[in-house]
Structure 1
Amino acid sequence: MSSSLKIDGLSVSYGPIPALRNVSIEVPEGGFVSVLGSNGAGKTTLVRTITGVLYLQKGKVTSGSITRDGQDMTKLKTRKIVTGGVAQVPEGRMLFPQLTVEENLRCGAASRRDLAGINDTLSEVFDLFPQLPPLQNQLAGLLSGGEQQMVAVGRALMAKPSLLVCDELSLGLAPLIVRDLFLLLDRINKEGVAVLAIEQNARIALQHSTYAYALEVGEIVLEGPSDELRENQEVQDLYMGGGGDSREAYAAIRREVNR
C-alpha cells in the first residue's frame, strides 16, 4: 500500500539540544495512525516538522526525511505542504476570536482559488457539523471549547486535504465531546482522508486508530496495531494510569535495550 506520509530516521534539534532522534513513522494512504506521548515527549516538534513551521522556533532537521507520495517534503514551506494535501488541526485550536465562525472556516481555504468549490466545501463542513450553521455569524471567541474544536477541524477540511494531522484534539474537552469528535474523525477517514492523531489521550486514540506509535523523550519506544497496543501491559502502565516518572524510566530502559 502506498504511503500518505513516511517519516524515515528523522532527527531534529534546537541548537545543541536534540528533540527527536531517529523517528520513523508511516501513515498509509487512507489510514488512521496515532502517535502517543506525554508532555515533553517530542510530539510538538514532530508536528512542527511535518507542517513546515519548525524554522519559526529555530529548530533544524539534522538527519532523516519526510516524504509524501514519494516526494521529499522535509524542507518545504507550509504553503507548499498545504497545497500538497496536508492540513493541521493545531493544539489549542488557534482560531481568530474576533472573526466569525464562517470567516474562520474560510481561512482554511486560503490556498484555494476555486470560489465555487470553496462554497461547496463549506456546505460539506456544515453538513458534517450541524451545530455550526446556526453559529456561522457568531464570533469564534464566544464559542464553547467543543464548538471551537469543531471549527478548527472544519477549517482544516476547508483545504480539501488528503492527510489530516490532529494535534491533541482531546485537550481540555469533556469526554463526551472527545468521543463525538473522534467518531467524526472516523467518518472523515472512511471518506478517504488519512488521519494522523497526535494524542496524550491514549485510550481514545487507540480505540479509533488502526496503528500506533509511542513517542517518549524524542524516540519511538513502541509501535504496533492499535488493538494489540490497547491490550499491552506496558502501554496500560504508561498511558492509562502510570505517571510521568514511569514514562521516563520506561523510555530510558528502551533506549538501553536498543543500543
Structure 2
Amino acid sequence: MQGLPSPALLELKNIEAMYNGIVLAVKGISLAVRQGGCTALLGGNGAGKSTTLKAISGILLAENGEVNSGEIVFGGERISGVVADRIVRRGISHVMEGRRPLSHLTVEQNLVAGGSTLKSGAEARQRIEYVYQTIPRLADLRKRTAGYLSGGEQQMMVIGRGLMSKPKLMLLDEPSLGLAPKITEDIFALLATLRSDGLSLLIVEQNTRAALKIADTAYVMETGRIVMEGSAEEIASNEDVREFYLGLDKEGKRKSFREVKHYRRRKRWLG
C-alpha cells in the first residue's frame, strides 16, 4: 500500500543513561528513526543529546556510562548494552562531535581504518571507491595528511570514514560545528544525498534551521528529557522553537539578541 510510513529502524523506549553510577544524564526518553528517514535531535549544550547517541552506538560503555533502564531496539533486535564494535557490525555508524580525524594518517588511511569491520581487502577497496564516488572531494585529497585539512574537509572525511562500514543508520553529532555557512550547506547537501541513497540518519544539531530542512521528524531535548516532538514542519513552525532556537518572532522577523537571551531564561515548555 502506498502512503504508509516506513517502519522504525531504530527505537529508544524510555531509556535512562547514567555515568559512574551516579550522574543521570538521560531521563526516560523515547524516540524513533524510520527506515530511510532522517530524525533531528535538537537542544542546547548539556541537554543529553550526545549521551543519547553514545548510548545507541555503545560508546557510552567506554566512558563509564550505561543504559540503566529502558531498551534500544535496532532492526527489531535489542542492542542495549552491546559493545561498540558489534553495534558497528550490525549497521550503525557514529560520526562523533569535533570530527576526531586520525590526524597523522592520510585521508585514504583514515578510510581504511573505518573499514576495519569489512571481511576482506577487496571489499575495503570497493567501499573506498564508493566513498570517492559519493564524496569526490576526498578522491582529490586521498594522499593528504588528515591533520592538515580544513574543518570542512575533515568533516567530509569522517563522514566518509563512517560510510566504510556499510551502515544502515548513521548517527551524526554536530556535523556543522565550527564550519562556515557555505561549508555547512555543502555538508547538509551531502547528507541529503546519502539519505536519497537509502541511508537512515539521526542528527544532533544546534543549527536548528539546517537540521529541520533535511529531517522528517524532530525531537527537542532539555535537561535529559524530550520536551517536544513532531514532524520537522510542526517543530519548525512551533512558536517556542522559532523564538528559542531560530530567533524569530511570530511574524518571522528576527528578534534582537537581548530578547532571545530573555527567552532562553524563561523556557515556557519547561514551566
Q: TM-score range by the shorter chain?
A: over 0.9
Unmatched segments (≥5 aa) in structure 1: none
1:206 equivalent in structure 2 = 212
The 3 A distance-change label for structure 1 pair 192 and 245 is same
Q: Is 1:4 aligned to residue 9 of structure 2?
A: yes
1:138 equivalent in structure 2 = 144
User: Structure 2 residue aligned with 1:227, among 221, 224, 233?
Assistant: 233
| Structure 1 runs of 4+ with >3 Å offset | 242-249, 253-256
Percent of aligned pairs with the same residue? 38
* CA distance in 1 between partners of 2:93 and 2:60 (Å): 16
* CA distance in 2 between partners of 1:201 and 1:141 (Å): 25
Matched residue of 1:132: which SS?
helix
What is the TM-score of this pair, normalised by structure 1? 0.94
* CA distance in 2 between partners of 1:99 and 1:246 (Å): 45
2:162 equivalent in structure 1 = 156
Aligned CA RMSD, in angstroms, stands at 1.5
Unmatched segments (≥5 aa) in structure 2: 1-5, 248-258
User: Structure 1 residue aligned with 2:63, among 49, 57, 65?
Assistant: 57
User: Structure 1 residue aligned with 2:110, among 84, 92, 104?
Assistant: 104
Report the Cα offset of residue 106 of structure 1.
1.0
2:61/2:83 contact within 8 Å kept: no
Matched residue of 2:125: which SS?
helix
1:217-242, Cα deviation, whole Å (9 max, x unpaired): 10000011101211111111121127
Matched residue of 2:137: which SS?
coil
* CA distance in 2 between partners of 1:183 and 1:47 (Å): 22
2:90 equivalent in structure 1 = 84
Report the Cα offset of residue 135 of structure 1.
1.3
Matched residue of 1:61: which SS?
strand
Report the Cα offset of residue 80 of structure 1.
0.7
2:108/2:143 contact within 8 Å kept: yes
2:250 equivalent in structure 1 = none
Where do residues 163-242 of structure 1 align in structure 2 (5 Å cutoff)? 163-241=169-247
What letter corresponds to residue 224 of structure 2 in structure 1?
G
1:137-180, Cα deviation, whole Å (9 max, x unpaired): 11000000000001000000011100011110000001111111
* CA distance in 1 between partners of 2:87 and 2:122 (Å): 23
Alignment size in residue pairs? 254
My pick for the range that moved more, 164-173 or 132-141, is: 132-141
